[in-house]
Every structure is written in structure tokens, then in C-alpha cells.
Amino acid sequence: MLFTTVLFLVITTSLSSAALIPTPNHGRSFQQCFYSHHSNNHTQVVIPRNSPLYSPLLNSSIRNNRFLNSSYHSLSKPEFIVNPTRESHIQATIICVKRSGFQVRTRSGGHDYEGLSYSSSTHQKFVLVDLSNFRSIEVDIENETAWVETGATLGELYYRIAEKSRVHGFPAGSCPTVGVGGHFSGGGFGTIFRKYGLAADRVMDARIVDANGEIMDRNSMGEDLFWAIRGGGGASFGVILAWKVELVPVPEIVTIFSVSRIVEQGGVQVFQKWQNVSHNLPKKLFLHAVIKPNNGTIQFVFVGLFLGRVKELLPLMEERFPELGLAAESSQEVSWIQSVMYFAGFAVNNISSKALLNRTSTFDGFFKAKSDYTSEPISGLGLEGLFKRVLEQESSMLILTPYGGRMGEIPDSETPFPHRRGYIYKIQYIVTWDTEEETSLHMRWIRELYEYMAPYVSKAPRAAYYNYRDLDLGRNGKNDDSYERARIWGLKYFNGNFDRLVRVKTAVDPSNFFWNEQSIPVLASH
């Protein structure tokens, strides 16, 4: 810590008079600045485009092939990738990037749906800070907390918790290769969120590097900034180094189950009942629905987690949702970590939980996703049109996540994530494809589906989930109208919390150093 502080003072002193404008040679200026303070092994830390290390590292956590080809939407690649191994590397990067006139982008897991953590649709040159080396996890079972570095994945976090305890868990997402840096800072849904809220709701402290290269914790950053990074997108405010989170109790034995129905088996009627009951079920019961085409018909898959045993689950379902027809043979009692593996797509009985430590994604293709929220069941007429459109696209899928429970108890302004009470479920629309030539066709399909759904979902604003980033909702400008531009998409993600996020951003990053196409804007000075 002393070394970090001294280094920060040296760098800031040497750069205090530097104008924050592009220099004639951006790259040399940035490298010289960084190397002057980190002379040892810098070739493994600052990686230019002409390095043989560049492409393997850049592509290592690109999770969507739409962004592997830089010709897509004229995307720009980073001029340099910084692969830090210590916090002082990140501090030096921020300060030297400012001196050199670059922008900066940060990547923890690479799951940004629009690739903004590692690519840019502008011509502004940027440096990518890849945080995959920051993956330490310290679990403290006695105090029921954990410190998690920003480059750790959800799978790694779950595994480390389960190493220490069979009766502790954490309410975050189901994809094990997602990095905690972006996931927590955007909200973070999971299978136990109806019981415990979002991942962001369980953040107790954080460490962040701000636009001046200073490292701050909750106490030194203040409650406004701490509020903003728990659901407002950390990349708008700084570089998240680590999160301190509160673990939650889980039973030693939980129950997982799945029931599938097609239209010809009464699937539509079961789904209509799901719309009415899923958000009213007990908090410890999570039951989401998946809608997808299957051999010319619509398949409905209802997948659940119950924080209890089968003998308690079956009579509950018979009372509250008999139409589902849940039977003992469709259910399985497992440990919580096995339930994590189940929702991640692993065969629970045949694979070790160490599979959660694999950071390589099993998906290798192109995709586009969008999101919606609904406050009331979609009508039969609306469903008829929806199913017709889903049948047009064999590689499409809708994931519907029920609300209620704890989500209805947390005030909308508690964190920047506003979509709490009043909603019955969230919709994620997904379409996948295999080749770049198919991109236009599939992008058009999902945009037309989204337009069709407008009458059946939330309005004024039409709500969207920030972690399912969607540039179709709008993009920032780089001039005085950026606030008005950002407000178009900002209200959809953050509703009434957007203006507070703007005020925090203006206070902590008035020069808008941490900018991207959907970062929180600053208020223009008058």
C-alpha cells in the first residue's frame, strides 16, 4: 500500500502540468509514461497492437463473435491492452492515458452485450485495461462476507464459497464465466434473487480507482459514489478493483426441477397460469420460463429452484400451480453448489464443481439480446402474435424471470437499479447465429419482435436492464447534447435514478474521462 501511494504521488507530480489533449505520438507518449514508473517486465503488462500477445489476449474473453471482426459497425480495437498484475499498474494507466489523450475501457469478464468493454464505435483511440489477473477471492465464513477482485468470475466466486461452507451462497447470475466487475455494478440477477435481492444489494464495500488515479474505498469515496457503482455501471465512474459482499444462508439441501410442455400438450395454458402465479410464489421458490421454437411448435420449459426439500415443494406446487403437473421424478435434491451447476447447464451428477473454475465460454457464435419488463400478463392475442414471430426464427429464445418476493420490498431508489415493485416478470429476448453473413437478417428479426412487443410491456419509460446492454436504445454524443442523448436510454435503464447518477458523475468525473457509448454523462458547465 505504501508503494502504491508513493508511486501515485510521483506520477501525479510529474504529470500535473500536462495538458489532457492528444499528443503528436499518442502511443509513444503513453508507453514512455508507463515505462518510466514500471521498468520491470513491462512487455507483459503494456501490449501494443504489433505484439504477438495482443490478439490472443484481446480475443480471450470476447463472448460474442459480432465483435471479433472489427469491420462490424466500423468498430475500433484498443491501441494497447494493459494486463495489470498490481493496483499501481492501473493507477499509472489512468494517469498516463489522460496525458496521452487516449480514452480508457475496462474489461473483467467480457460479457458486455454490445462489446463496449473492449471495442468502440468511435474513432477515438483507447487503451483497454484487462482485469483478468485480478481474481483473488477471500471468503470469511465467520463474518459471512467475501472480498472478490473485479476480474474473478461468478463461477470462481461460487466455488470458493462452497469450498468453505455448504450453507452459504450468493445471489448473482447463472453464467459462470461472467466477471463480477460488470455484473455487480449493473445489478446482478440470479436464482435466489426473489429471496435475497440482487448481487448489488449485497455489496458492503468496494475499492475503486478514480479519474485522478486515486484508490478509494467506501469510506473515502463517500456514499453517493458508493450508491452509484451498485447498479449504475462502475465503468462510468472508475475502475472497480474489488467488492466486499455479504454472503447469504442457503439450506444444505435444495431442490431443482424442470417441466417441459409444447403447445399440443397444453403449454400455452400452463404458461398463462405461470404469468399469474410465478411472482406470487413464496420467496424461496424461483420458477422461470423459457419459450423457444422446437420442430414447428412452441416449447415452454419451466425451470425452478426451491430452497427446501422435495417433500415440501410438491404439496406447495399442487396447491399453487397444479397445472404444471410437477412430479417427484422431475425434481432432484442437491446441494446449493450443484444447483448453481444445474442452472449453468452442467450435468449435476457427472461433473465436479471444479468445472465452475473454467473461464472459457461454451458459446461460440453470434448473438443479439434485448430486454423488457411487464406489469401485467400478456394477453392471449399478444401471445399469439409473439409465438408466430418466435416460430419464424429457429435460433431464438425468450427467458422470462419472475419478480415478486424480496424485489418488491426494496425501494426503487435504494440503488441505481430501479426495476423493483410493480413488475411481474422480466423478459430477455435472444437470437443466435453462426456466420457474419447472417447478421443483418437476425438483427432485423429481433428488432421487429421488440417493436411488436411494445403494447404489452412497460411504458413511459419502456424499462430495460442495464446488464443486457442494448445500443438500439440510444448512444451518447461527445458534446453538450450528451445529457439529452443519454436521457433517452438512461431513463429506460435507471428511470428516476438517472438524474442522480448524472449528478454523481459530474461531481467525481467532471471531464467525462470514463466515457463510452452508454456511460453516464456529465452536466455541461454554463
Determine whether 293 is exposed, middle or buried from the number of CB atoms within 10 Å of its CB (0-12, 13-18, 19+): middle
Sheet holding 137-140, edge to edge: 137-140, 145-149, 239-246, 203-209, 215-216
Q: Which residue among 429, 468, 483, 493 is the active-site one? A: 468
For residue 396 the three cell numbers come to 431464438
CA dist., res. 177 & res. 346, Å (int): 13
The angle formed by the CA atoms of residues 203, 88 and 245, to the nearest 5 degrees, is: 10
Give which of 107, 81, 42 is closest to 33, Cα–Cα.
42
Length of the chain: 526
Angle at which helices 380-391 and 267-277 cross, to 10°: 120
End-to-end CA distance of the chain: 40
483 is annotated as an active-site residue: no
Residue showing cell 451428477: 349
Question: Cα(123)–Cα(486) distance, rounded to whole angstroms?
Answer: 19
User: Could you tell me the three cell numbers for 524?
Assistant: 455541461
Angle 2-15/87-100 helices, nearest 10 degrees? Answer: 10
* DSSP type of residue 525: P
Residues 344 and 175: beta-carbon distance below 8 Å:
yes
DSSP string over 253-281: SEEEEEEEEEGGGTHHHHHHHHHHHGGGS
Q: In the numeric block, which cell numbers belong to residue 320?
A: 399453487
| Element spanning 406, H or E | none
Distance CA 348, CA 333 (A): 11
475 three-state secondary structure: coil
Q: What does the angle CA 265 – CA 269 – CA 273 come to, to the nearest 5 degrees?
A: 135
Rounded-to-10 torsion of CA 206, 478, 451, 462: 50
Instruction: DSSP letter for 69, please.
Output: S
Give exposure, 193-228, as e/b (b: 16+ Cβ within 10 Å): bbbbbbbbbbbebbbbbbbbbbbbebeebeeebbbb
- Distance, in Å, from the CA atom of 231 to the CA atom of 243, rounded to the nearest integer, reads 13
Please report which helix (H) or strand (E) contains residue 430, including its range: strand 425-433
Phi, psi of 55 (to 5 degrees): -65, -45
* Closest CA relative to residue 202, chosen from 144, 162, 258: 144
* 122 phi and psi angles, rounded to 5 deg: -100, 170
Q: Which residues are catalytic?
A: 468
